[in-house]
Amino acid sequence: MSDFKGYTGKSLEFLKKNNINVGDFVKISSDITYSGIIMPRYEHSDDKHLALKLKSGYNIGLELEKIEKIEKIQSKEKKSEAKENFEKDPSLPKILLLSTGGTIASKVDYRTGAVTPVLTAEELNSSVPELAEIANVDAEVLFSEYSENITPDHWLKIAEKLDKHSKSDYSGIIIAHGTDTMHYTSSFLSFALSGYPIPIALVGSQRSSDRASSDAALNLIGAVRFLLECNTNGVFVVMHQDENDEAIACHFGTRVRKNHTSKRGAFQTVGGDPAFIVVNDTVYRNNTKEFFKEKTYQPKINLKTNVALVKYHPGYDPELFEKILDMNYQVIIFEGTGLGHVGKTMYDKIQKAHEMGIFLGMTSQCIDGRVRMTVYESGRDLMNLGIIPLEDMIPEVALVKAMWAAGNYDNKEIKKVMLQEIASELSN
């Protein structure tokens, strides 16, 4: 790394003048006195600020013009970190951790303050030493992507990798994943790998491991305990239950949403309770629902992305829907209002879509409750136009299931598959 990565113009001149490099521990006198590590800056940052990582783990920006004095306390260490030696206990069960990105399987580089991915079992056990006491964890990086950059092609790569381990001696598998789109990935894996013989846990972190309030280690430890003691199979999302550290919630992979942008307990099971709760190192079953309808492992690892999710709203322009029809989409999932409605201005276009042989499914914008299109006349009209109610399937889950169904079944079978519960995607 450059000694001045991301710094240009005035900020670069300031650092050079004061003999300060990225990674140095400094004391800065400004409106108050700050101590911390000079951080690298983003590529498009201005030249009027310094980035400083405080001991709390938070990063702040300091305006150059307000800095009265900067003093180097300690230079960054040039030497590489010594590799910690540890021996695996052959009596412990084995867990595989596949990293796809995010901060859950990461560590802090205290030379620069940057968060870097954990790449080896040695680094993982060094970062979360409690793991070595309960399991032998093998770590492997599939790819490193922010979750907003995860695509259906990534889902396929994860599923194909998991399929190769379906007959392994691992007790369970962790997918380390960014939180923003984790429930999309968990949904696809639930359908594609229905009946997988061992449990799979997708684990993320709402707050990075360089922050005192980080949930990374606790989520990871909870996930390992869950995999070892749940005595079931299936795909689950394992995260903090709430803001406290007492409980970790294990959600069905097809019944979970991220319902808060930043809280540690951001993920919630929609329409019910989490499948399991981990409290004080003990795993409790929290939901009596059957996890997998498929009793045997029959992977179907294909998908098609010519599937649309249409969120209806007042003022929705039917011509936008016409554009979707022109693009030869195979399935359209509506996120309708209330019990499953869209405005009558859409009726002609919907009838056209039905006549084109497109599968039309209805979900609700409401967070909880079921689609019931027989209650009002408008709902009955939409059913007569060919829209199929999808009970209480979460819209995002319905979208992913439709992609999976389109990739594995012919057009005549899609309706049957969409109405068939495969991986706990319905609450009852």
Active site residues: 103, 179-180, 258
How many CA atoms within 13 Å lie on the side-chain side of 203? Answer: 32
Residue 187, both tokens: 């949904």
CA 74 remoteness from chain centre? 37
Smallest CA-to-CA distance from 171 within 283, 294, 293, 85 is with 283
Rounded Cα–Cα distance for residues 12 and 47 (Å): 7
Helices 152-164, 182-192: crossing angle, 10 deg rounding: 50
Rounded Cα–Cα distance for residues 224 and 92 (Å): 12
**CB-CB neighbours of 32 under 10 Å:** 6
Rounded Cα–Cα distance for residues 342 and 319 (Å): 15
Query: Helix H segments across 286-424?
Result: 318-326, 347-355, 377-384, 395-408, 411-419
How many CA atoms within 13 Å lie on the side-chain side of 62? Answer: 30
Smallest CA-to-CA distance from 232 within 186, 202, 197, 181 is with 197
